[in-house]
């Protein structure tokens, strides 16, 4: 608090960044997440085996120096598959949130900015979507569209739309009432300009927090749909799909179920603490 006078000279975003960097747990989350992203990006280089290299003579081996996480029934190296699986999970998580952000965000901005009847109609539609728990909606959509990565991203994305619509709407509504918006209008700025230049930058903070946490929940949803057989088609490695296979070997080869789940948990955990840290950094009043 004493440093306030110094920090105030920085831009609001710098201030947020400096508060965020002082939150040890959130920084840990950010570093772990960065490592996970890098390991997924460079899976080709890091993985000791290919993602679908089969060696039946090595089937169902426990963890060893050669196969850190053991092998599955085709003798595929589980460590390599977990690394490659990160690509799928992170991609689905990010794309699903992007889908939800684009649709939910646009609807929320329109509802919050225009207000009146348009607002009621949009929000009633969102109420309908919210009447179905997000996971269930995703399951229903994925089941109807059929298995596959693309369909899964759409399914999870649509399930998330109402959440973003509500948050963006609330943020836009509170930003709309500010005097600088009135001032912008007085200088003759059009609606689109007001929204893009004046309202969005001031309304985006809660949306960013929600998006970070949203990637976490989308990764869980992705694993869940794959676990149900609605995800990526084999042999594409995916954490949820690997767990689904591991289920049949729980009694005899438990290691198969441990590592993919551990990676899901670590990813979701680091995104969650990062999201919490961002929220505290953006709005220090919310911090306990």
Partner 1 sequence: MAKYICKRLLQMIPVLLGVALIVFTLMYITPSNPANMILGDTATPEQVAALEEELGLNDPFLVQFGNYILGIVTRFDFGTSWFTGKPIVGELLLRFPKTALLAALSVVLSAIIGIVCGVVAATKQYSIFDNLATAISLVGVSMPSFWLALMLCLLFAVKLGWLPVSGSYGWEYWVLPVVTLGTSGAANIMRMTRSSMLEVIRMDYIRTARAKGQSERMVITRHALKNALIPVITVIGIQFGNLLGGSVLVESVFAIPGLGKYGVDAIKQRDLPAVLGSVLFLAVTFSFVNLLTDILYSFIDPRIQTSLGPSRRQKRAAAGKAEEGAA
Out of 199, 246, 281, 282, name the contact with partner 1 by CB under 8 A.
246
Interaction pattern, residues 101-130, with partner 1; x per rule: CB under 8 A: -----------------------xx-xxx-
Asked if residue 16 binds partner 1 (CB under 8 A), the reply is no
Asked if residue 264 binds partner 1 (CB under 8 A), the reply is yes
* Residue placing its CB nearer to partner 1 in the complex, 194 or 203: 203
Out of 143, 189, 200, 204, name the contact with partner 1 by CB under 8 A.
143
> Phi/psi of residue 71, each to 5°?
-130, 160
* Residue placing its CB nearer to partner 1 in the complex, 165 or 194: 165
- Tokens encoding 128: 């309908």
**Measuring CA to CA, which residue among 98, 119, 258, 248 is closest to residue 164?**
98
Q: Among the residues of the chain, which ranges form H helices?
A: 4-7, 12-21, 24-41, 43-46, 78-114, 116-130, 134-145, 149-176, 179-186, 191-193, 200-227, 239-246, 255-282
Give the interface segment with partner 1, choosing from 31-39, 41-49, 179-187, 215-223 (CB under 8 A): 215-223
CA distance 40 to 82: 9
Interacting positions 147-166 with partner 1 (CB under 8 A) = 163, 166
CA distance 196 to 47: 43
Asked if residue 132 binds partner 1 (CB under 8 A), the reply is yes
Give the interface segment with partner 1, choosing from 32-40, 48-56, 96-104, 131-139 (CB under 8 A): 131-139
Cis peptide before 235 (omega within 30 of 0): yes
> Phi/psi of residue 73, each to 5°?
-70, -20
CA distance 248 to 228: 14
Asked if residue 141 binds partner 1 (CB under 8 A), the reply is yes
Question: Is the Cβ–Cβ distance between 231 and 222 less than 8 Å?
Answer: yes
Residue count of the chain: 288
* Residue placing its CB nearer to partner 1 in the complex, 57 or 144: 144
Asked if residue 92 binds partner 1 (CB under 8 A), the reply is no
For partner 1, the binding residues (CB under 8 A) are 124-125, 127-129, 131-137, 139-141, 143-146, 163, 166-167, 170, 209-210, 213-214, 216-217, 220, 223-224, 227-230, 240, 243, 246-247, 250-251, 254, 257-258, 261, 264-265, 268-269, 272-273, 275, 279, 288
């Amino acid at each position: 608090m004493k440093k306030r006078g110094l920090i105030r000279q920085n831009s609001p975003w710098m201030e947020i960044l400096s508060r965020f960097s002082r939150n040890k747990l959130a920084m840990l989350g950010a570093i772990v997440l960065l490592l996970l992203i890098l390991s997924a990006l460079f899976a080709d280089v890091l993985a000791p085996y290919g993602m679908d290299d089969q060696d039946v003579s090595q089937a169902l081996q426990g963890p060893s120096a050669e196969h850190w996480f053991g092998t599955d029934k085709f003798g595929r190296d589980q460590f390599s598959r977990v690394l490659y699986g990160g690509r799928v999970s992170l991609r689905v998580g990010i794309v699903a949130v992007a889908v939800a952000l684009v649709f939910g965000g646009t609807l929320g901005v329109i509802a919050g900015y225009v207000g009146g009847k348009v607002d009621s109609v949009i929000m009633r539609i969102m109420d309908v979507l919210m009447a179905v728990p997000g996971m269930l909606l995703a399951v229903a959509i994925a089941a109807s569209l059929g298995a596959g990565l693309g369909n899964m991203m759409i399914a999870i994305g649509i399930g998330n739309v109402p959440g973003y619509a509500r948050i963006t709407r609330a943020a836009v509504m509170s930003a709309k009432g500010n005097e600088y918006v009135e001032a912008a209008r007085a200088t003759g700025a059009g609606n689109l300009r007001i929204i893009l230049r004046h309202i969005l930058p001031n309304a985006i903070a809660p949306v960013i927090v929600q998006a970070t946490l949203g990637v976490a929940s989308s990764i869980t949803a992705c694993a869940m749909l794959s676990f149900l057989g609605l995800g990526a088609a084999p042999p594409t490695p995916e954490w949820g799909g690997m767990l689904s296979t591991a289920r049949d070997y729980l009694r005899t080869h438990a290691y198969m179920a441990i590592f993919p789940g551990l990676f899901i948990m670590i990813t979701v955990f680091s995104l969650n603490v990062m999201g919490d840290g961002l929220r505290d950094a953006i709005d220090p009043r919310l911090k306990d």
